[in-house]
Structure 1
């Protein structure tokens, strides 16, 4: 008996099954694209230059969902996508708390950032972040908490870092 062949076949079967479970469903990708455009526009202001919105989008078969966060920055303001250790600014950090039975498929999807100065990259305008998740089991009323830790700056000043979170209820 060729045990090597059996082991390779076993890992191929397991690997293919795992890949199928973690592949993002095409209907969910399409729904996320539509939903990210359909958000009502949140309006930031000079005292709070970042407005945050979030929503859940489900796949047709309810086996996957996407957490969509849309941050809208006031004109002339930015947040940091990447900051080298030599710089004093605070890079944005996306937050996510999931209930039992809901797991991340991969890391957050983020838009391309813009080079700024001295190795710093920023986000400006409207930014959409997406986290795809696999749903094995959940209880109605479970909560997904999503948010962002960030520092907003314009050409003259920076506000202290803060965190904004939004709780989304599973139904």
Structure 2
């Protein structure tokens, strides 16, 4: 009986340790009205130490760039492209090319023209996160940002 209990305990501990997924990037969202007809969306990535995500523009055959897709709506219109601070540009050994990336945190900004008073902007973002040893598969994250 003790062996059965020990076997079950070891099996559960092993299964739970395999079930832990790496999530080195946390996303947060906010909006800020500039005036009655315009707002800026703030999309922040907080990146664990030792990891980085790639900029919105990378060379062909490189890593997955960070990309944003906004749902179309009659409540708002996008103004221009999603903006970001200048990335760190270095040679990436994994891809054997110069690439731009962000460490620790980065805030992406998207301006919107408000057609309705308080719309909710929805969309998805795609990104890839790497460290010096590995890259995780590209991930797509849905977001919903109320503009108040």
Query: Shorter chain as normaliser: what TM range?
Result: 0.7 to 0.9
Which structure: greater helix fraction?
A: 1
Query: In the alignment, what sits opposite 2:17?
Result: none
Matched, 1:123 2:63: no
Structure 1 residue 155: Cα displacement? 0.2
Match of 1:137 among 99, 103, 116: 116
Retained in 1: the 8 A contact 2:33–2:147? no
The offset of 1:100, in angstroms, is 0.6
TM-score (normalised: structure 1): 0.64
Are the structure 2 counterparts of residues 170 and 127 from structure 1 closer, same or farther at C-alpha, using a change threshold of 3 Å?
A: closer
The unaligned stretches of length 5 or more in structure 1 are 1-45
Q: Which residue of 2 is the match for residue 53 of structure 1?
A: 28
Partners of 1:113 and 1:148 in 2: CA distance: 18
Question: Do the aligned residues in 1 keep the contact of 2:30 with 2:42 (CA within 8 Å)?
Answer: yes
Give 4+ residue runs of structure 1 displaced > 3 Å after superposition: none
Unaligned runs of 5+ in 2: 1-20, 92-96
1:83 aligns with 2:58: yes
Report how many residues are paired.
Answer: 123
Aligned to 1:96: 70
Shift of 1:170: 4.6
Per the alignment, residue 19 of structure 1 pairs with: none
